[in-house]
């Protein structure tokens, strides 16, 4: 079962190298390693700085999965302005572009998965789907992108889009540096909770576009390359159940069983108990069982 949203009338194609993205994505891992080595040599192993990095890892990562992905891209649940604002602010700190741009690309991915118009088409190779697609600028016949109307009409989304770079720098680099200073080392905050955290969150997200279209199982559908991977769920806040997500994208859950590791689902559900989220969409169990039965029948027939 695939549900789609309003998507751009003009689909971008890749051509010219985007040097800003390319330089940022290739130099941040180097800075992360160098600055971390300098920090550890001067301060040793300090749990306060490690904990700060872990906190930023979860806040920024969950802002992408619960905010950019399940709330804004798929409208899998509703949230008040406070929750959306927090997701937009810390989502920007993940340095994965504005929610407007991220969600537009993601909706196109679902609509055209595995085909030429898929922004991170796995059929163009692992590297391209993982990170290569970001190295290129987008060009359209009219030199503009027609974003979905529901996103253009969202005041908070548009506010973040207009101020994305400053929010990203302030919350992604300046804030952990300041907090790190009060914990004993500004360098530690910048190196670990800032730059290294950005790199790690980047690749945890990118692996969903690459590995989860190559490695794993397809218990719900074999009409596309998306696969379920418990291992990837551990590193991507529950996003690893990708075959399920591509077949039932409107579900606020990716891991549907109680034992599935899906902290994004747990966060959204917890916030609903507090009255901060509502209208959590769940696919009826009957449809899930039917999808699994059809896949088992296909496998049996092929044998």
Q: How many helices (H) and strands (E) does the chain have?
A: 15, 4
pLDDT higher than 80, residue 12: no
Identify whether 6 is part of a domain.
no
pLDDT at 181 over 80: yes
At residue 15, the pLDDT reads 65
Number of domains in the chain: 1
Mean pLDDT for the stretch of residues 262-286: 97
User: What confidence tier does 146 reach under pLDDT thresholds 50, 70, 90?
Assistant: confident
pLDDT in tens, 56-69: 999 999 999 999 99
- CA–CA distance, 91 with 176 (Å, rounded to integer): 15
Segment 257-268 mean pLDDT: 96
- Return d(Cα 141, Cα 203) in angstroms, integer: 31
Question: From residue 146, how far is each of 143, 235, 257, 284 by CA, in Å?
Answer: 10, 33, 38, 34
pLDDT digits (tens, 9 = 90+) for 103-127: 999 999 999 999 999 999 999 999 9
Q: Mean pLDDT over residues 234-260, rounded?
A: 95
Full DSSP string of 25-55: HHHHHHHHHHHHHHHHHHH---HHHHHHHHH
| Residue 294 parent element (H or E) | helix 285-302
Q: Average pLDDT in the 42-51 region?
A: 92
pLDDT band at 138 (very low <50, low <70, confident <90, very high): confident
Give SS3 for 281: coil
Tens-digit pLDDT profile for residues 191-206: 999 999 999 999 999 9
| Cα distance between residue 14 and residue 124, in whole Å | 12
Considering the chain, what percentage of its residues have pLDDT values greater than 70?
92
- 1 by DSSP, 3-state: which? coil
pLDDT mean over 218-246:
95
What integer is the mean pLDDT of 20-30? 96
Range 124-144 average pLDDT: 78
- Please state the pTM of the whole predicted model: 0.91
Specify if 7 maps to a domain.
no
Report whether 31 contacts 195 (CB < 8 A).
yes
Q: In 10 A of CB 222, how many CB atoms?
A: 14
The whole domain housing 208 covers: 13-302
Compute the chain's Rg from CA coordinates.
20
pLDDT higher than threshold 70 for residue 13: no
Task: Provide the β-strand partners of residue 14.
Answer: 138
In this predicted structure, what is the pLDDT of residue 3?
43
Asked whether residue 5 is assigned to any structural domain, the reply reads: no
- What mean pLDDT comes out for the span 221-246? 95
In a domain, 165, yes or no: yes
Looking at the domain assignment, is residue 58 inside a domain? yes
In a domain, 104, yes or no: yes
Which among 272, 266, 271, 224 is positioned nearest to 244, based on CA atoms? 224
At 140 the pLDDT is 52
**Contacts of residue 11, Cβ cutoff 8 Å, sequence gap at least 6:** 108, 112, 117, 140
Q: At what angle do helices 197-209 and 47-62 cross, to 10 degrees?
A: 40
Judge whether residue 258 has pLDDT over 80: yes
Domain membership of residue 4 (yes or no) is no
Is pLDDT above 90 for 32?
A: yes
Distance separating alpha carbons of residues 240 and 61, to the nearest angstrom:
13
Q: What is the mean pLDDT of the chain?
A: 91
């Amino acid at each position: 079962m695939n549900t789609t949203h309003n998507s751009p009338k003009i689909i971008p194609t890749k051509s010219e190298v985007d040097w800003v993205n390319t330089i940022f994505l290739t130099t941040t891992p180097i800075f992360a390693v160098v600055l971390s080595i300098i920090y550890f040599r001067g301060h040793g192993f300090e749990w306060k700085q490690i904990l700060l990095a872990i906190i930023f890892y979860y806040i920024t990562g969950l802002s992408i999965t619960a905010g950019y992905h399940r709330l804004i891209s798929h409208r899998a649940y509703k949230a008040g302005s406070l929750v959306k604002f927090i997701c937009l602010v810390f989502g920007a700190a993940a340095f994965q572009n504005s929610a407007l741009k991220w969600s537009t690309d993601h909706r196109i991915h679902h609509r055209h998965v595995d085909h030429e118009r898929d922004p991170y088409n796995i059929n163009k190779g692992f590297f391209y789907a993982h990170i290569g697609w970001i190295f290129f600028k987008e060009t359209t016949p009219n030199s503009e992108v027609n974003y979905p109307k529901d996103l253009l009409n969202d005041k908070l989304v548009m506010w973040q889009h207009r101020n994305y770079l400053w929010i990203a720098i302030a919350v992604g680099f300046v804030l952990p540096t300041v907090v790190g200073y009060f914990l004993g080392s500004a360098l530690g905050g910048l190196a670990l909770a800032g730059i290294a955290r950005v790199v790690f969150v980047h690749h945890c997200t990118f692996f969903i576009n690459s590995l989860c279209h190559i490695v794993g199982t397809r218990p719900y559908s074999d009409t596309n390359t998306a696969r379920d991977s418990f291992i990837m769920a551990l590193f991507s806040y529950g996003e690893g159940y990708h075959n399920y997500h591509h077949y039932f994208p409107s579900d606020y859950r990716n891991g549907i069983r109680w034992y599935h590791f899906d902290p994004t689902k747990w966060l959204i559900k917890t916030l609903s108990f507090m009255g901060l989220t509502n209208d959590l969409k769940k696919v009826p169990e009957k449809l899930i069982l039917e999808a699994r039965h059809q896949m088992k029948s296909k496998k049996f027939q092929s044998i």
